[in-house]
Amino acid sequence: MVDDRVERLAKDLMSGDRRALARAITLIESSRQSDRTGAAALLEQVIPSSGEAVRIGISGAPGAGKSTFIEALGNHLIDLGHRPAVLTVDPSSVINGGSILGDKTRMETLAKRDQAFIRPSPSGRTLGGVTRRTRESMLLCEAAGHDVVIVETVGVGQSEIAVAEMTDMFILLLHPASGDELQGIKRGIMEIADMVLVNKADGELKMAASRSALEFSRALSLLHSRDDDWVVPVVTCSALTKEGVDEAWKTAERYLQLQASSGARDSRREKQASSWLWGELTESLLDRLRDDPEVKQELRRLEENVAQHNLPARVAAGELLEKVMGRAKEE
C-alpha cells in the first residue's frame, strides 16, 4: 500500500510543483532505509508520466563555461516555450560530502524563472562524478512536466562517458584551444560527442575560437562517429553575448529529430535501461553487503589478509561471495 504522503507528493510533483519536485529528489537521494522504501514507491507512481522529454548531457573541462552556457541555453529554451530542468553534479566536499559550488548561485537569471528547475547534487563517491540517483532525478523532472532535461557533469575522469550513457545527446563544450591542447583531449571523449561547442567565441578570443573549431572538425573527421548518418558538427558560440546559442539549439534539434525518426533514440534508451538495471543491481547488492553485520566482520578479516599480502584480492572476494551465497541457500 502506498503511503499517503508519498501519494500526495507524487500528485503535487506531477502537477508541476517545483517544491514537490525538490522534495522528491531529496527523498530519492537519501540513504536512510525508511526513505528508500518511500523513494521506490514514489518512482512507481510517477514513472508512467516520464519518458517524453529530451535528455541532453553537457560536459567539458573546468573553465569551458558550462554553467554560463547552460544558463543561456535554458533561458533561450524558455523563450521558445520549453520547460528546462538542469541537473548539475557538483564536486563533493571531502569533509561533509555536500556540494561545494552550488549551481543556483552560478545560474541566477535562470533560477528565477518559473519554467526552469535547477538542482545541484554532490558527486559523492560515485565514479565519474555522476550521482547514482541522477537517472531517477531525470524521471522525476520529466514527470513534473519538464520537456528538456540537461545533465551537467564536473567534466573530469569518466563523467563524460557516464552521462553519455544516460542521455539522448551528448554535447562536449570546449574553450578556444591551441593545437597542443587539442592533443590533450581524450580520443574516447571525442568519439562519444554528438556535437562539439567551442565556447567563448567573443572579443579577442573570437578568431581563436574559429581556428579551434576548424581544428576540432579535422580531428573529428578521423574518428568514428556513434551514428553512421550523422556528421558531428562543431559550432562556435558565446554564452556571454548569447551569439550562436540559437544555432547550437537548432543543431541539437536536428540531431534529436533524426534520432527519433530513425528509431535510434528508442534503441539507445532500451540499452540504457538495461545498463541502469545492472548498475542498480550491483549497487544494491554492495549496499546490502556493507550493511550486513556478519559480512562486515568477515570483510575486516579478509581486508587484513589482503593488506598483509597473505591473500590475493580475487581469492578474498571469492571466499566472501561463497559464504554469502551459501548462507542464502540455507535460508
The CATH number that applies at residue 24 is: 1.20.5.170
Residues 70 and 110 in one domain: yes
Residues 220 and 313 in one domain: no
User: Domain total for the chain?
Assistant: 3
Return the C-alpha cell found at 225. Answer: 562517429
Return the C-alpha cell found at 217. Answer: 572538425
Q: Give me the pLDDT at residue 243, please.
A: 95
The number of C-alpha atoms within 13 Å of 172 and in the hemisphere containing its C-beta is: 27
Q: List all residues 6 or more positions away from 128 whose beta carbon is below 8 Å from its beta carbon.
A: 153, 157, 158, 159, 160, 161, 162, 163
Q: Give me the pLDDT at residue 160, please.
A: 74
Residues 157 and 292 in one domain: no
Q: Give me the pLDDT at residue 177, please.
A: 72
Residues 250 and 125 in one domain: yes
Alpha-helix residue ranges (DSSP H) falling in 184-312: 187-192, 206-221, 245-262, 264-291, 293-307
Residues 282 and 253 in one domain: no
Residues 96 and 242 in one domain: yes
Q: Contact, 234 vs 220, CB < 8 A?
A: yes
Q: pTM of the prediction?
A: 0.86
Q: Contact, 59 vs 152, CB < 8 A?
A: yes
Helix, strand or coil, per DSSP, at residue 117 = strand
Return the C-alpha cell found at 147. Answer: 520537456
Q: Domain of 171?
A: 51-261
- Dihedral over alpha carbons 169, 109, 197, 121 (to 10 degrees): -50
Residues 236 and 291 in one domain: no
Q: Contact, 68 vs 101, CB < 8 A?
A: no
Judge whether 107 lies within some domain.
yes
Judge whether 267 lies within some domain.
no
Pairing status of strand 234-236 against strand 54-59: unpaired
Judge whether 282 lies within some domain.
yes
**Residue in the block written with cell 569551458:** 64
Judge whether 268 lies within some domain.
no
pLDDT in tens, the chain (331 residues): 468 899 999 999 999 999 999 999 999 988 888 888 999 999 999 999 999 999 999 988 778 899 999 999 999 999 999 999 999 876 543 334 444 444 455 789 999 999 999 998 765 545 444 667 889 999 999 999 999 999 998 665 567 778 888 999 999 998 887 555 555 566 667 778 899 999 999 998 999 899 889 888 888 887 777 777 888 999 999 999 999 999 999 999 999 999 999 999 999 999 999 988 998 888 888 888 888 888 889 999 999 999 999 999 999 999 998 888 877 666 6
Helix, strand or coil, per DSSP, at residue 114 = coil
Distances (CA, A) of 274 to 86, 163, 277, 282: 24, 15, 5, 12
Residues 166 and 244 in one domain: yes
Residues 85 and 208 in one domain: yes
Residues 118 and 204 in one domain: yes
CATH code of residue 215: 3.40.50.300
The DSSP code for 247 is H
Residues 36 and 95 in one domain: no
